[in-house]
Amino acid sequence: MRVRLLGSSLVDSAHRQYVTSFLINTSVAIDAGCIGFWGTPQQQEGVKHVFLTHSHIDHTASLPIFIENAWTPAEGCPIVYGSHETLDDVQTHIFNNKLWPDFIAISKTMSPFLRVCPLQAEVPACADGLTITPVRVNHVVPTLGYVIRDGESAVIFAGDSGPTERLWEIAHQTSGLRAVLLEACFPNSMTRLAEVSLHMTPEMFGREVAKMPKDITVVAVHIKVRYRDQVIRELNELQLPNLEIGECEREYLF
Ligand SMILES: [Zn+2]
Ligand SMILES: [Zn+2]
């Protein structure tokens, strides 16, 4: 499975992921923070499945731009997946004929721009050879992590979340698990902020890693750009054996 963190800064984009999108192989994306600002319209048209973790703007900001870029007069269109709460928020707050046209309604009368597909927690969906299982995690709005499997390996995208349990129970039951992409949002000095916003510090990150199966790669993602150096320093102090600091545009093979 090929995984890329898409960049979202015009300068030094490898180290500045201001908003979140991951690309899996070429046709599946997790979150739409920057997918609409990535590549060519033709590459965006190739992304047929977008799985949203939650509604926050750093995960949905470029969704309307992506939907516009990917559209052609042909019949095919991207499918946007998420919890019913997230999809309701996308319709109410983005495709509402104010911030952006209601492409969900327009799609019922002409060549479609997008289809939406609500997900149930722990009920797998299939997309281009991948099996994608949503799991509820612990954030300030309803949020899903995703367990993604191809024929050989599995990778977990843990979403925005504070400390959580169910996802790690499922991780222990997931054969072929190679990697977890886990957020490390704020430095330890901002623990209070991490607690109220249900995000993670390096110290909390270390406690979550202890709950996971051993011998998997843990990639630190969603690091607040302003505090990146400090967060990386604190993550390295944990001396975790299989830690990687996520870099944008590098291709990870799992
Ligand atoms: Zn969030
Ligand atoms: Zn976020």
- Using the mean position of ligand 1's atoms as its centre, give its distance from the Cα of residue 56 in Å: 5
Query: Radius of gyration over alpha carbons of the chain, in Å?
Result: 17
Distance of alpha carbon 34 from the chain centroid: 11
What's the average model confidence in pLDDT over 12-22? 92
The ligand that comes nearest to the alpha carbon of residue 161 is 1
The ligand that comes nearest to the alpha carbon of residue 61 is 2
Helix (H/G/I), strand (E/B), else coil: 41: helix
Q: What is the pLDDT of residues 198-241, one digit of tens each?
A: 999 999 999 999 999 999 999 999 999 999 999 999 999 999 99
- Using the mean position of ligand 2's atoms as its centre, give its distance from the Cα of residue 203 in Å: 18
- Using the mean position of ligand 2's atoms as its centre, give its distance from the Cα of residue 29 in Å: 15
- DSSP per residue, 189-234: GGHHHHHHHT---HHHHHHHHHHSPSS-EEEEE---GGGHHHHHHH
- Using the mean position of ligand 2's atoms as its centre, give its distance from the Cα of residue 131 in Å: 24
The ligand that comes nearest to the alpha carbon of residue 59 is 2
- Using the mean position of ligand 2's atoms as its centre, give its distance from the Cα of residue 176 in Å: 27
- Using the mean position of ligand 2's atoms as its centre, give its distance from the Cα of residue 33 in Å: 9
Q: What is the pLDDT of residues 89-120, one digit of tens each?
A: 999 999 999 999 999 999 999 999 999 999 99
pLDDT at 75 over 90: no
- DSSP per residue, 122-146: T--EEETTEEEEEEE--SSS--EEE
Give Cβ neighbours of residue 72 (< 8 Å, ≥ 6 apart): 45, 111
pLDDT at 23 over 90: yes
